[in-house]
Amino acid sequence: GGMEKIKQHTFALAHYTYTVLSALKYANGAPVVRIYSDTDFSNPDVQGPIINFNVLDENGEVIGFSEVDKMASLYNIHVRTGCFCNTGACQIHLGMSNEDIQRNLQAGHVCGDDIDLVDGRPTGSVRISFGYMSSFEDAQTFLKFIIATRLSKSDTEIPFQSSITKLTTESVPDDHPSFNNADKLSPIPHIWDRELRNNSSVTKTTVHWQTPEAESESIRAAVSETAVPTCRRGGKPITVTNIYLYPIKSCSAFEVTEWPVGNQGLLYDRNWMVVNQNGVCMTQKQEPRLCLVNPSIDLEQKIMVIQAEGMDPISVSLEENTGNEAVVCESKVCSHRVKTYDCGEGIAGWFSLFLGRPCRLIRQSSDMKNRSYQKNTKGLASATNISLSLVNEAQYLLINVASILQLKEHISARLEEPLEIDELIRRFRANIVIRAPESFEEEEWAEISIGALRFQVVGPCSRCQIICIDQQSGERNKEFLQSLSAARGRKTNFGIYLMNQPLRSSFPDTLSVGSQVLPVLKENTEIQPPTSSEEKCSG
């Protein structure tokens, strides 16, 4: 039908979505979204099929665009986030001054990162776009996503009934030449109203990003600023309970009780990765079956053995292939270029057969200058000299069993079935698992010492949809990320990133299960190990 028909079609979808979004309210009357627009979506000649917005909580506070993006991905919805290469419009609609922009930069925010809030104020927004191939069902899917993650059943009944009534009579401007047949859109409200009533996944959904009041109070108490005492009750020590390395990025964990530490983290942790035929790194987001690949390291024989159900084991030498036959290439990990080399046809065939698609195994080159830690982390000495393997963010990821236990109760209640703590630990794919007396106290640490090793805390780990994948079956369940977001109060942070700063010591650089962990609080008050179990806090 040509561009005029495409304009009518896409504008109808955008106008419908805009109308329903604008009408969504919490039980207290607060809007669910704040839409940024120079028009009222009444004229397709001046308004394109794009809606730019931020999601709000019931108190009117903005929920960061990064968190919205992660939740949308669980519903197979692709949104664009940030400032959309238009800093001027971003400043105008978000009310940011030039000083605000400078402050955001000083806080470490750069274009394309996940820093969506600085001092509680948004650094960008969320955008959805409709094209000629978009359908009414696409608009419905997006609206159902907002309902399922923001509103309870009681919240949605009244706002949606009123919005549907208004939409029936006001959705299409009768006087506009492009919309002289308003009846074309009349079925839309009735379809939506019927699906809302019949879709149990929507009408029975409780709050995903906001916890019930009783749960909220217990969570807030656990993660509040005062949750970490200067001296722990009973003087209980903190110990390392599990150590995991992941030789092949996004594949199964290899658990050890003691392991040497290299200058990139645990020795051989994420030294290899699987890439597709275009050389792009494959992760569990695109290929969940990677979690069924089990690599293990034999330090004595200097090999990595790779196993998977239904496949013959195959081994890869730990010795780097530096000969002329090595195929050296450049790959990208989180937009950073890394020098790698191909591990050969045999292992490429093994992975291609198991995953059912052409792929290859590559290994990071030992040229340590090819990738270093670049983030502006306050207090991290010589940050640019710290080398990274094929990890996304930092050398180590640490989680706390006490925090896992608290989260386990919330997820089990939402799933209405028991959940094993070992399963949760596997889902969070940490290198170091500790047991501390207080849940989430690790978020108050500035640095820690484990034996002769000293680690700088470089920030929280913001989780993605990989925690939704059962690491033993490869099956997805989006409830895990939604539950984490609800329990943590709009954020998906869980665990902390560490960088290694070895102490000058005669002890070998080795991590061991059972070692004591000595943290230093962000206020630089060190928590000393108690002299007896009866020692009391002195202030």
Task: State the catalytic residues.
Answer: 85
> Residue 295: how many CB atoms within 10 A of its CB?
21
The token pair at 147 is: 């309902």
How far, CA to CA in Å, does 171 sit from each of 14, 17, 181? 11, 10, 12
Q: How many CA atoms lie within 13 A of 449 on its CB side?
A: 12
DSSP 465: G
Output the six-digit token pair for 347. Answer: 């292992």
The answer to whether 497 and 458 are in contact (CB under 8 A) is yes
What letter represents residue 500's amino acid? N
DSSP string across 77-90: ---EEE-TT-HHHH
Taking only Cα atoms into account, the Rg of the chain, rounded to an integer number of angstroms, comes to 26
Residue 41 · residue 10 · CB < 8 Å: no
Kindly state the DSSP code that residue 272 receives in the 8-state scheme. Answer: E
Element (H, E) at 510: strand 510-512
Q: How many Å apart are CA 196 and CA 188, to the nearest integer?
A: 12
Q: Which residue has the tokens 């009041």?
A: 213
List the one residue out of 128, 201, 155 whose CA is nearest residue 58.
155
Whether residue 261 contacts residue 427, with contact meaning beta carbons closer than 8 Å, is answered with no
Beta bridge partners of 449: 454, 518
Token pair belonging to 222: 């656990």
CA separation for the pair 176, 399 (Å, rounded) = 58
For the record, the structure tokens of 196 come out as 């809302």
